[in-house]
Structure 1
Amino acid sequence: MSVFADYAQYYDIYYAGKDYDGECDFIEAAFARFHKTPHTVLDLACGTGNHGLRLRERGYAVTGVDRSAAMLEQCRKKAKARNLDVDLYEQDLRELKLQDRFDAAICMFDAIDYIPENEDLRTTLCAIRSHLQPGGVFLFDFWHAAPILRGHDPVRVREFPLGTGKLLRISTTTLHVARQVADVKFRVLAFEGNTLTGELEETHSLRYFQAQEMAFILEACGFEALHLCPAFDLDTAIDADTWHLVAIATPAKLKTGN
């Protein structure tokens, strides 16, 4: 079963409190900081469109890509309800192949972490680079290894309202330190009153990175790393308590011989 196949139906309930508007403000601030004025934006692993649809409302032409048909269906419904035109494609980022090149690409909510293997990550980043215009910008966030290794919650339980009932989400995290991967098993229980009406389980495998490791990976894949910072603050220093980092990069210029 594909990751997010069942999880998608509750996704926007889980993250209703996430500051997507603030994150889009950050994205635009990053564009401005590095003198980028994009018109076209490629939203990679776009999910249900919580960043891309907001950017479309701000005037950008947005194309979304996600490997989950269920997440894309939620995105289409939201776009239609808000009368927004966005192009959506069901593709795995490791096999990204679109006809157009874009002024900017984003990959938000740590989605790059879902590509844990080195070769897959290289393939993905090279494909993203090839879909950017010269001088384009790629912005994404990711898990920071330092605080995860210092201390994570092996088990977390959260409750969410669901109509006249509730959702109970139990997440169990197992670290594979040598691979820098966290397996997060989600068990979701839906209740109507005290009656269990639905249950699902999915395991998500996510990689975590050190800042300089990510800078090296970007450069090895043909990018110039412009900036790494805490999510979502362009001016604060990264420290051992920074759980999420942002990388901002641009396709490296071709070197010419002397």
Structure 2
Amino acid sequence: MDWFEEWFDSPLYEKLYSNRDEAEAVQLVELLIDELELNKCSKILDLGCGRGRHSINLNKRGFSVKGIDLSRQAIKTAREKVEKMGLDNIRFEVRDMRNPLDESFDAIVNLFTTFGYFESDEENASVFDSVVKMLKPDGIFVLDYLNAKKVRESYRPSDSGEFQGIHYDIERYISNGSIFKEIEFSGERVNGERTYSERVKLYPLEWFQEEMAKRNLVIDHVYGDYEGHAYDPETSSRLLIISHLKE
């Protein structure tokens, strides 16, 4: 079992990240709509949608949205949110992003570093093959990724804390071109100790430029944050790539 299959389905994942910034998700969606004229698109695929934060915000703005994720627990949570909110024209499905759907979309978004999880560069690049098979000609592909250079230079080696009576310790390190995060939970509520891992490949902008060009994905804009500032490898918090599929 890959690390993401085990960790993302764990109830401890939802508890640890329960306070993820909804305002940040709204800000990103606003950028996509206002700056990139995404309002011209009617059907959007959220590739690696997690618990549905961005899918729901896109749907609230009037888009038809489908979210896919490999985590059954994530999809279950996303469906529960939608049902509770009474939203229409939004669907969620358990699916591997490497396997394209038999549908086409006006735009595909891959947000909040839901990329670089696979062991090899070839596997990670295969996500682009999946994208081009599902994207309509001239359709938009958005990839929101970490700024690898800044991560290498400023990551925090360790963190610790508590929530709901559960203690956690986080260790971070870089090895073989990836950033690793080892998370250990302890306390009576977890019956001893449990350990999970995260691993994300640290790709520079040049890698994306090369791999996307091979697949006729033309990069139009590269932003460095959710406010729409230009990307700077030294200082930017994000690497936000906007591209379209060349006809």
TM-score under structure 2 length normalisation: 0.87
* Contact 1:5 1:70 (8 Å CA) reproduced: no
1:218 aligns with 2:219: no
Aligned residue number for residue 113 of structure 2: 110
Shift of residue 227, structure 1, vs aligned partner:
1.3
CA distance in 2, matches of 1:63, 1:211: 27
| 2:92 equivalent among 88, 98, 112 | 88
CA distance in 2, matches of 1:173, 1:22: 24
CA distance in 2, matches of 1:237, 1:5: 33
CA distance in 2, matches of 1:5, 1:119: 22
Shift of residue 131, structure 1, vs aligned partner:
0.8
Aligned residue number for residue 225 of structure 2: 231
Shift of residue 80, structure 1, vs aligned partner:
1.4
Shift of residue 66, structure 1, vs aligned partner:
0.6
Unpaired runs of 5+ residues, structure 2, are none
* Contact 1:189 1:198 (8 Å CA) reproduced: yes
**Higher mean C-alpha deviation, range 37-46 or range 146-155:** 146-155
Shift of residue 116, structure 1, vs aligned partner:
4.7
CA distance in 2, matches of 1:122, 1:52: 23
Between the aligned residues of both structures, percent identity stands at 19
Shift of residue 16, structure 1, vs aligned partner:
3.9
Q: What is the RMSD computed on CA atoms of the aligned residues?
A: 2.3
CA distance in 1, matches of 2:173, 2:226: 26
Shift of residue 110, structure 1, vs aligned partner:
0.4
SS of the aligned residue for 1:56 comes to helix
Unpaired runs of 5+ residues, structure 1, are 254-258
Residue type of the partner of 1:212?
E
Aligned residue number for residue 186 of structure 1: 183
Shift of residue 101, structure 1, vs aligned partner:
0.6
* Contact 1:169 1:189 (8 Å CA) reproduced: yes
**Higher mean C-alpha deviation, range 2-11 or range 45-54:** 2-11
Aligned residue number for residue 167 of structure 2: 168
Aligned residue number for residue 62 of structure 1: 65
Aligned residue number for residue 256 of structure 1: none
Shift of residue 12, structure 1, vs aligned partner:
4.1
CA distance in 1, matches of 2:31, 2:195: 38
Aligned residue number for residue 248 of structure 1: 242
Aligned residue number for residue 52 of structure 1: 55
* Contact 1:66 1:91 (8 Å CA) reproduced: yes
CA distance in 1, matches of 2:107, 2:171: 35
Aligned residues: 243
CA distance in 1, matches of 2:136, 2:187: 45
**Higher mean C-alpha deviation, range 197-206 or range 42-51:** 197-206
Residue type of the partner of 2:207?
E
